[in-house]
């Protein structure tokens, strides 16, 4: 039995006895697990699935989070499959006594049990590589309803399952986020695309250094020139605004060419505000610029407390360009290690442009790096005894072109202020590296 | 009209025509917002509410996330109010055209519109403090259905609302997390407690340094000695396992005394594995120990890249005891700044106990601090060219008692390895500080 690719909707679907033109396919996400309904675990899977389905042009009609309870699960699954093109179920596939998903699905879709040979071999291998033997409970994870197509899970022991009732699909995925994501990308996305003739072109652009409302203002006339099948979504966070451009409508080369030309226009409009694509972070982009220049960087931090350095080091391969950092949280360290003059601190407090500059230049010299970035500020809840207002942050970048220093203010909590200080410092370093291009 | 405190359930409820003994009250959470169903925003409100309701002894039967669509909202609200004691709705209360919650609720519960004077004054004040004038759209946020009790929102412009149908309550809260949390704690918790004669005693203990399954094994016999009204929940994260002890049953002094004595027993069983209560973090506890000793700390990091320092600095008041840190990501910095001997790195690679010790002692001397903690390791994805296996992390603590060094292994990704390295280093520092007591 091979369900995948077996159905065609062609932009129409049957609901009851009526054949209607539809505007797109619909999905419901059902996350199963009492650990979710008692708040023990934050459900991030549904957010990933919502984003992914929306990007594929599938409308998410809702997300349900339900406990490990057979009756509740059966009712939720039945109602969802009756109504929607796709029901994506996560969780409830573990080996323990409260994992019911596959039992409920066998009751619902019928058939007997079958053993999936590939999954069985993978389970045995998984335990033997860890010097252990798979228990009968673990081996039983390879047993699945005969009414399903197996979605082989190369990262874990619980196989995914695909069921079909008429034109409606139910897909059961493991609750472990990285296993779920891999299975969704490798097996579910192609299935959804095979069911649709809709173009699922989408591009995500990463933007930093402009407020969401200002960005919307700046893009207004560009947005109005988009073909009607295009839509924009703004996804703001502390590190960036992600701007997602999606094209709906029938797949053809015109759509794609139009989209590409609009993305090029956007690059012109936004200039250096646009720093990357997809999941690229500011630290990724800074890393690439440094690798291209075969250059190194050092970091001197006060108010961000090590956060800038941590972000840069988080990128695999960072040891190629990160020399190191100093967190000069006390003034004594600013003076002794970084050579900041005591008079500068006395004159204007430790959170000043002069001190930021001295820190960047001091750490660049100390660590013998090509570039350096520094932060100093007052994030509260208490002031630092000087007249510097709480929320003041200075960022300075030192390099072959000299030193560049900027001040900004944050109005939020200490924690958010630290995060904004980090992203601002990374962005100033990026802009400095770009200015040399 | 004052709905609060007007109803009594007394452990019984009517379902259909049957009056049944019940095991407790039930709630459903409904999060409204298309930004949630397209994955633009991660729903963290429902997790907070699930935890809070569960801690109050209310069973969360499910969480629904639905788009800004009047028909979907009405159906979800009606079904939920018909079935459950409490329906908690978040979101859809903003001033824009796609915020429908209060309109749907007025249609559902009837009545006209009324203007809430306190909310109106707060809205005018909110804008005037920002040097702006409230627009008609903003002022209209003070208008609510006459069928509700207003839950005044002291942190924002959208009031919460309380509706009642028979013994069943629907509570509408704003979607902004900090506004929602304050309203829940100040207004909804007392309401729920007034509806229940059940004791909602709960304590959360913070535990570090033991696997969840080992902790469960260690607590088995203690757990079996708990009175039947008590239950345990394990809430694991990268920073700790939170162990929540809840007592159900009628409120009385015996319950509370039993609970307190069981918590004392737990402290004896767990010893230094138990590091705090409630929301205390490892960095908070380390900070308190340092403040009590009037002592200072310095940090030398390699594989954690600044994360240990950042965690310590994140605690308000950290400038009292954090001198500063060095991120010695390159070997040259380890040697030049921290005085690690080149021969030590040549002998055993940069990720070794000897190097960790030299780093801790070096930074303690350099920054003239009472204590110091260091990390060095290989977190991948690439090895460091030595024979050190990927996933090796060394942590060393230096202080008046000499130096204490430990090695551990992480099997997860670079990102998780960094986070575990941070929490392990903070915990080793905590244990060192405790050993002196």
State pLDDT tens for residues A116-173.
999 999 989 877 776 678 888 889 999 999 999 999 998 888 999 999 999 999 999 9
Rounded to a whole number of angstroms, the CA Rg of chain B reads 27
CATH for A362: 3.90.950.20
Answer yes or no: do A228 and A287 share one domain: no
The whole domain housing A243 covers: 198-277
Residues of chain A with C-beta less than 8 angstroms from the C-beta of B419: none
| Segment A232-253 mean pLDDT | 74
Answer yes or no: do A339 and A397 share one domain: yes
Answer yes or no: do A90 and A170 share one domain: yes
Classify residue B260: in a domain, yes or no: yes
Answer yes or no: do A108 and A228 share one domain: no
Using pLDDT thresholds of 50, 70 and 90, give the confidence band for residue A24.
confident
A63 membership: H or E segment, kind and range: strand A59-66
Instruction: Tell me the C-alpha distance between B20 and B207, whole Å.
Output: 40
pLDDT at B77: 98
Q: Which of A26, A239, A311, A329 to mutate against chain B (most B CBs within 10 Å)?
A: A329
CB atoms within 10 A of CB A181: 16
Report the predicted TM-score, pTM, of the whole model to 2 decimal places. Answer: 0.75
| Helix spans in B135-188 (H) | 136-139, 177-183
pLDDT at B240: 87
- The C-alpha of A310 sits at a distance from chain B's nearest C-alpha, in angstroms, of 5
Instruction: Tell me the C-alpha distance between B123 and B128, whole Å.
Output: 9
Greater confidence, A22 or A104? A104
Classify residue B3: in a domain, yes or no: no
CATH for B92: 3.40.980.10
Where do we find the tokens 């079904």?
B79
pLDDT at B228: 81
Give me the residues paired with residue A276 across strands: A206
Residues of chain A with C-beta less than 8 angstroms from the C-beta of B39: 47-54, 60
pLDDT at B133: 81
A126 three-state secondary structure? helix
Which among A66, A88, A68 is positioned nearest to A180, based on CA atoms? A88
Q: Determine whether the interchain pair B327/A309 forms a contact, defined as Cβ–Cβ distance below 8 Å.
A: yes
Query: How do beta strands B160-165 and B168-173 pair?
Result: antiparallel
Burial class (CB in 10 A: 0-12, 13-18, 19+), B332: middle
Supply the ipTM of this predicted assembly. 0.73
Residues of chain B with C-beta less than 8 angstroms from the C-beta of A319: 329-330, 384
What b/e readout covers B210-224, taking b as 16+ CB neighbours within 10 angstroms?
eeeeebeeebeeeee
Residues of chain A with C-beta less than 8 angstroms from the C-beta of B415: 314
Answer yes or no: do B258 and B314 share one domain: no
Greater confidence, A325 or A157? A325
Give me the residues paired with residue B396 across strands: B374, B405
Instruction: Tell me the C-alpha distance between A384 and B275, whole Å.
Output: 30
Single residue among A259, A277, A295 that ends a domain in this structure: A277
Task: For A417, name the nearest residue in chain B, comparing CA atoms only.
Answer: B314
Task: For B318, name the nearest residue in chain A, comparing CA atoms only.
Answer: A329
pLDDT at A249: 56
Task: For B307, name the nearest residue in chain A, comparing CA atoms only.
Answer: A310
Using pLDDT thresholds of 50, 70 and 90, give the confidence band for residue A18.
very low
Which among A209, A198, A213 is positioned nearest to A246, based on CA atoms? A198
pLDDT at B249: 56
Neighbouring residues of B63: CB distance < 8 A, sequence distance ≥ 6: A36, A37, A43, A63, A64, A65, B28, B29, B30, B31, B46, B50
Q: Determine whether the interchain pair B367/A47 forms a contact, defined as Cβ–Cβ distance below 8 Å.
A: no
| Segment A318-345 mean pLDDT | 88
10-residue block means of pLDDT along chain B (437 residues)? 34 34 78 89 93 88 96 97 97 84 97 95 82 82 96 91 96 91 94 72 85 82 84 77 74 75 90 92 97 97 95 93 93 86 80 92 95 92 78 95 92 82 97 88
- Measure Cα distances from A433 to A281, B2, B233, B330, B337 in Å: 16, 63, 50, 22, 27
Answer yes or no: do A344 and A423 share one domain: yes
Q: Determine whether the interchain pair B38/A233 forms a contact, defined as Cβ–Cβ distance below 8 Å.
A: yes
Residue A274 sits at φ, ψ, to 5 deg, of: -90, 115
Answer yes or no: do B188 and B204 share one domain: no
pLDDT at A331: 86
Classify residue A169: in a domain, yes or no: yes
pLDDT at B120: 95
Q: Which of A129, A313, A393 to mutate against chain B (most B CBs within 10 Å)?
A: A313
Answer yes or no: do A262 and A132 share one domain: no
Residues of chain B with C-beta less than 8 angstroms from the C-beta of A234: 40
Classify residue B41: in a domain, yes or no: yes
User: For residues A364 and A404, is the Cβ–Cβ distance under 8 A?
Assistant: no
Classify residue A5: in a domain, yes or no: no
| Segment A278-302 mean pLDDT | 95
| Segment A393-415 mean pLDDT | 90
- Measure Cα distances from A93 to A101, A154, A179, A248, A400 in Å: 6, 15, 12, 35, 57
Answer yes or no: do B203 and B163 share one domain: no
Classify residue B26: in a domain, yes or no: yes
Using pLDDT thresholds of 50, 70 and 90, give the confidence band for residue A308.
very high
> B182 is written with which tokens?
């304050």
Q: Determine whether the interchain pair B36/A63 forms a contact, defined as Cβ–Cβ distance below 8 Å.
A: yes
Neighbouring residues of B327: CB distance < 8 A, sequence distance ≥ 6: A299, A306, A309, A313, A322, A324, A325, A326, A327, B301, B302, B305, B306, B309, B333
If one counts the domains in chain B, the total is 3
Answer yes or no: do B233 and B259 share one domain: yes
Q: Determine whether the interchain pair A51/B38 forms a contact, defined as Cβ–Cβ distance below 8 Å.
A: yes
CATH for A229: 3.30.70.2860
User: For residues B56 and B200, is the Cβ–Cβ distance under 8 A?
Assistant: yes
Single residue among B250, B277, B304 that ends a domain in this structure: B277
Classify residue B103: in a domain, yes or no: yes
Answer yes or no: do A203 and A245 share one domain: yes
Answer yes or no: do A240 and A289 share one domain: no
- The C-alpha of A265 sits at a distance from chain B's nearest C-alpha, in angstroms, of 24
pLDDT at A138: 85
Q: Determine whether the interchain pair B40/A51 forms a contact, defined as Cβ–Cβ distance below 8 Å.
A: yes
Query: How do beta strands A26-32 and A59-66 pair?
Result: parallel
Instruction: Tell me the C-alpha distance between A201 and A251, whole Å.
Output: 9
Classify residue A187: in a domain, yes or no: yes
pLDDT at B97: 74
Q: Determine whether the interchain pair A330/B324 forms a contact, defined as Cβ–Cβ distance below 8 Å.
A: yes
pLDDT at B198: 57
Single residue among B176, B195, B214 that ends a domain in this structure: B195
pLDDT at A250: 57
Residues of chain A with C-beta less than 8 angstroms from the C-beta of B299: 306, 327
pLDDT at B429: 98
pLDDT at B11: 34
């Amino acid at each position: 039995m091979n369900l995948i690719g077996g159905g065609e909707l062609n932009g129409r679907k049957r609901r009851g006895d009526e054949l209607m033109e539809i505007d797109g396919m619909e999905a419901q996400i059902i996350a199963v697990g009492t650990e979710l309904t008692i708040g023990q675990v934050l459900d991030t899977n549904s957010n990933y699935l919502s984003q992914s389905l929306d990007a594929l042009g599938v409308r998410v009609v809702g997300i349900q989070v339900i406990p490990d309870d057979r009756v509740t699960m059966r009712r939720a699954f039945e109602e969802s499959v009756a109504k929607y093109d796709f029901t994506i179920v996560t969780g409830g596939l573990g080996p323990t006594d409260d994992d019911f998903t596959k039992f409920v699905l066998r009751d619902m879709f019928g058939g007997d049990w079958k053993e999936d040979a590939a999954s069985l071999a993978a389970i045995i291998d998984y335990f033997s590589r860890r010097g252990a033997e798979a228990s009968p409970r673990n081996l039983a994870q390879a047993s699945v309803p005969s009414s399903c197509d197996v979605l082989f899970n190369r990262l874990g022991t619980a196989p995914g399952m695909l069921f079909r009732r008429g034109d409606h699909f139910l897909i059961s995925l493991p609750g472990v986020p990285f296993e779920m994501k891999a299975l969704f990308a490798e097996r579910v996305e192609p299935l959804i695309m095979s069911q649709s003739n809709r173009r699922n072109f989408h591009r995500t652009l990463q933007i930093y250094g402009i407020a969401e409302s200002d960005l919307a203002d700046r893009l207004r006339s560009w947005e109005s020139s988009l073909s009607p099948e295009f839509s924009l979504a703004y996804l703001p966070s502390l590190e960036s605004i992600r701007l997602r451009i999606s094209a709906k409508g029938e797949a053809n080369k015109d759509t794609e060419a139009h989209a590409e030309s609009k993305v090029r226009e956007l690059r012109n409009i936004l200039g250096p505000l646009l720093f990357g694509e997809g999941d690229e972070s500011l630290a990724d982009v800074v890393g690439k610029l440094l690798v291209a220049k075969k250059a190194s960087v050092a970091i001197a931090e006060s108010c961000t407390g090590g956060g800038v350095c941590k972000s840069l080091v988080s990128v695999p391969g960072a040891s190629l360009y990160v020399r190191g950092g100093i967190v000069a949280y006390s003034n004594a360290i600013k003076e002794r290690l970084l050579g900041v003059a005591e008079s500068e601190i006395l004159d204007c407090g430790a959170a000043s442009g002069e001190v930021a500059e001295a820190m960047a230049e001091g750490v660049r010299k100390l660590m013998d790096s090509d570039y350096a970035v520094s932060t100093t500020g007052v994030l509260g809840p208490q002031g630092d005894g000087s007249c510097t207002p709480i929320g003041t942050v200075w960022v300075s970048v030192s390099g072959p072109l000299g030193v560049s220093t900027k001040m900004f203010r944050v109005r939020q909590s200490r924690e958010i202020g630290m995060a904004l200080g980090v992203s601002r410092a990374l962005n100033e370093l990026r802009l400095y590296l770009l200015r040399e291009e």
